[in-house]
Structure formats: structure tokens, C-alpha cells
Amino acid sequence: MKITVVGTGYVGLVTGTCFAETGNQVTCVDIDVNKVNKLSAGQITIYEPGLEKLFERNLKEGRLNFTTDLEKGISEAKVIFLALPTPPGEDGSADLSYILGVSEKLGPMLKDYKVIVDKSTVPVGTADKVHAAIAKNAKVEFDVVSNPEFLREGVAVEDFMKPDRVVIGTQSEKARKVMGDLYAPFVRQGNPIIYMDEKSAELTKYAANSFLATKISFMNEIAILCEKLGADVDMVRRGIGSDDRIGKRFLFPGIGYGGSCFPKDVQALVKSSQEVSYSFRILDAVMDVNEKQKLFLLPKVNAYFSNNLKGKHFALWGLAFKPNTDDIREAPALYIIDALVNAGATVSVFDPEAMPNVKGVIGDKVAYAENQYATLENADALIIATEWSVFRTPDFDKIGSSLKHKVIFDGRNLFDVAHMQELGFHYESVGRLPAKS
């Protein structure tokens, strides 16, 4: 099938590449000339495990191409995906200007029947708005489908190729058939395509992200309680996670959820609720807990250094909002850096992939180390903000001998507390009693 993906960011590039991988002819459109030039020249623009190989193969075999020309890009397509940004507006609601702007342009460009698919995360009712924006100037028949995307960064290719489910919101039989054919190769293992109306599909996406964010904030509060009561959150997590009704996943406490999705989507659902005079109280609490959680380690750091961080130097491992991505949107590490620097401390950082992005945002506010151990030179303590695998079994002798104080503040519970005690570290984590040196 010939398809076009408008917007070639995290979702668009993964979507386009994976559809090309199943034999479709894919054109990706983006307004960013630099991005399109790079991609056309075979240079991948995001770090996403497994994507580069698929991207190179499909580009080489001619199933994937890139353009800035929307009209040319959509001319032969049967299906047009919109994978455009929906950032939070000033009041927290989703900004639909990208989606509706492109939709208005599409109207006069349509020459034959097309299915226009909204893959971006958008509030309930957006499919109707997209339909109206296109219809203003369209002379041919078209359908608008809501097909929210559930991929996670870092495992995006796997999530796309083997989705738990595909949600397709449409009331058009014709569009349903087209979408079913397109997704058939991705649901061969019995994972379902769930067909529903557009509004339910739109809400499904926000409900999924908000529920997952709720699980995380819930566990972060349990972790706080564990510390106060002398319990161990790892034990509690395992104790509740083995109940099928609760499930093992998304119960890991830490220094809060970040990324481009949970923070903005929870906020947007709260805003949508307010618009229909409903106060979604659970989500207010979820956001509030998460705001505080990002700086969960700071009181511990302050207490260790007697509330005086002036002149102290910290090593910080991990900048991306989660491992296996270079994405730093709403990354807790950035909040920690701010707090440390505002308190008069200096910071030396390392992240396997995200350092160029951080440098682009905060410049020389921190020092960028060549590897994780180089951050430790002259550092008073080590802080861990992201659970990259490479941080999981480090050389503790090297850490101990490099740091001025044998102290680690771990926001992702990477190490065994008793082991750290044996090694003589002062080790503080989330929801577990500290190991005292």
C-alpha cells in the first residue's frame, strides 16, 4: 500500500520505517528541511535501538523516502498518517495547531479517496475537528480515523512491530477495511485490533497513559511510606506485582516519570475534564506527587552535606528521561541539575546518548565527561538519575577510590542495599532504608 506519514519525529519515523518494513511504499513529510536532508542522505535523526538497521534497509530498497513537499508527498498515498506534535498549550491543554494547520492544507490537495489517520495523541473530539478542517476545501470523499500510538521510546520498534493491541477509531466500513489490511502483518500472533468509534479511541490513549502514570505515582508514595515505616519498597513491589490483577509492570519507584508523553498527557486529560466541568481528582494528585518526586533525592543529599552544597561537586550518571533513548524532555535529571547548581554546587555528567541534547539546552551549566568514571574526579558524591544498563554493574572499587566521600544517591534503585553496606558505601535510594558507611 502507498502511505504517507506527516511529521517525522519519534513516532513518525518509527511508523514510516515499520510500515516500509512490511512492504508498503512510504513517504515521510516534514517541515524541517535539515531533518529531511539528513534522512534522505541515510543519516538517522533519533537514537532508537533497532531502528537504524530497518531504516537503512528500507531506504536502500526504495520503500522509504523523505520530502518537505506535502502536496507531492501525499499525491499517491491511500493512507495519510498525521504524526505531528501536540505539545501542552499555556493552560495545559493539547495544542492542536500543528494537526489542524496541516489538515486545512490537505483539503484542496486531495484528488481521490484517502484515509487520514490521526496518530498523534489528541483530545476527544479532534477527529471531528480534523474532518471539518479538511472538508472546508475538499472536493473528494475522505475518512478521518483515530489510531493512537502506544510505543515506548527505547523499545519503539519492538512495540510497533508487536503491539499489545492496535486501536482503530472509525465508523467508516471503507476506512476500517483499509486500516485492517495495513495492520494485518502486525497482529499475526493474535494480539487484537480493537475497533471502536473515534472518540473512544482518542480517550483510550489518554486513559492508558494516565493509568500508567497513576501506577508510578502510587508506587512513589508507597516508597515514601516505606522509608517512614521501615519497610522495603522492593519487597512490597514484588509482593503486590505477583497478583495478576495488579501486574508486575510499571511499579518501579524512582525519581518520577518524565518524557514527552506522561507529563503532558496527564495534564491534558485533567484539562479536558475541566472543560466538561469535571474535576479529575486522582490525576491532580498523580501530577502533584510526580512534581515532588523529581527532587526526592535532594533532601537526602542536603542532609548528608549538612544543608550546605555550596562548593560541592557532584557526579551525575544518566540524563535521558529513561534508558535507551536520547530524549531529555521532562527528564528528572535536569531538575536535579538545576537544584544542585542553584544551591551553589557544580556537576559533572555522563549519559551514553543524551549529552548532545542536554548541551543544546543547558550548555556549559555542567561539565560533560567522556565516560561514567570520568565524572567522579573530585566529586563529593555520585547521583544516579537514569537506569542505563551500563550503570548496573559498575566497578565499585573505582567509584569508592575516586569519590571524595563514599556516597551514592540512587534515584533508580540499581544496587542491593546490603551489598553496598558490605562495600562500605553510604547508599541512599528510593523507598529502602539507607546503607550507612
Ligand X SMILES: O=c1ccn([C@@H]2O[C@H](COP(=O)(O)OP(=O)(O)O[C@H]3O[C@H](CO)[C@@H](O)[C@H](O)[C@H]3O)[C@@H](O)[C@H]2O)c(=O)[nH]1
Residues that bind ligand NAD (CB under 6 A): 6-12, 29-32, 35, 83-86, 98, 101-102, 120-121, 149, 151, 153, 260-261
Residue 17 labelled as part of a binding site? no
Q: Considering beta carbons, is residue 6 or 117 the nearer one to ligand NAD?
A: 6
Grid coordinates given for 114: 484517502
| 206 to 225: interface string for ligand X, x by CB under 6 A | ---x--x---x---------
- Binding positions for ligand X, 33-52, rule CB under 6 A: none
Dihedral, CA of residue 396, residue 399, residue 404 and residue 405, to nearest 10: -40
Strand bridging mode 367-368 / 381-384 = unpaired
Residue 152 labelled as part of a binding site? yes
CA distance 325 to 327: 5
Grid coordinates given for 139: 472536493
| One residue of 31, 40, 49, 150 binding ligand X per CB under 6 A | 150
Q: Considering beta carbons, is residue 146 or 260 the nearer one to ligand NAD?
A: 260
Dihedral, CA of residue 427, residue 430, residue 432 and residue 436, to nearest 10: 20
CA distance 69 to 51: 24
Q: How far is CA 122 from the centre of its chain?
A: 16
Q: Which does 368 bind (CB under 5 to 8 A by kind): ligand NAD, ligand X, none?
A: none
Task: Tell me, yes or no, if 226 is annotated catalytic.
Answer: no
Q: Which does 293 bind (CB under 5 to 8 A by kind): ligand NAD, ligand X, none?
A: none
Locate the DSSP E strands across 179-308: 193-196
Q: Considering beta carbons, is residue 119 or 176 the nearer one to ligand X?
A: 119
CA distance 433 to 226: 8
Q: Considering beta carbons, is residue 161 or 374 the nearer one to ligand NAD?
A: 161
CB of 4 to ligand NAD, least distance (A): 11
CA-derived radius of gyration, the chain = 24
Do 10 and 327 meet the contact criterion of CB atoms below 8 Å apart? yes
Q: Which does 7 bind (CB under 5 to 8 A by kind): ligand NAD, ligand X, none?
A: ligand NAD
Residue 64 labelled as part of a binding site? no
Instruction: State the helix-helix crossing angle for 97-109 and 126-135, rounded to 10 degrees.
Output: 40
> What residue is closest to ligand NAD based on CB?
9
Q: Which one from 18, 28, 226, 261 is the annotated catalytic residue? A: 261
Give the N- to C-terminal CA distance of the chain in Å, as an integer. Answer: 63
Q: What residue type is 37 in one-letter code?
A: N
CA distance 428 to 301: 9
CB of 90 to ligand NAD, least distance (A): 17
Grid coordinates given for 28: 515521510
Site for ligand X contains 254 (CB under 6 A): yes
Residue 35 labelled as part of a binding site? yes
CB of 386 to ligand X, least distance (A): 8
| 56 to 95: interface string for ligand X, x by CB under 6 A | ----------------------------------------
Q: Considering beta carbons, is residue 12 or 434 the nearer one to ligand NAD?
A: 12
CA distance 130 to 116: 9
247-255, 271-279, 335-343, 344-352 -> range binding ligand X (CB under 6 A): 247-255
Phi, psi of 180 (to 5 degrees): -60, -45
CA distance 430 to 411: 6
Q: Which does 352 bind (CB under 5 to 8 A by kind): ligand X, ligand NAD, none?
A: none
| One residue of 322, 406, 426, 432 binding ligand X per CB under 6 A | 322
Grid coordinates given for 391: 550503570
| One residue of 81, 252, 296, 391 binding ligand X per CB under 6 A | 252
Instruction: State the helix-helix crossing angle for 262-275 and 281-293, rounded to 10 degrees.
Output: 150
30-38, 49-57, 147-155, 221-229 -> range binding ligand X (CB under 6 A): 147-155
Locate the DSSP E strands across 68-152: 79-82, 114-118, 142-146
CB of 35 to ligand NAD, least distance (A): 6
Residues annotated as catalytic are 261
Residues within the interface to ligand X (CB under 6 A): 121, 149-153, 209, 212, 216, 250-252, 254, 257-259, 261-262, 265, 321-322
The annotated binding site for substrate is made up of 150-153, 205, 250-254, 258, 322
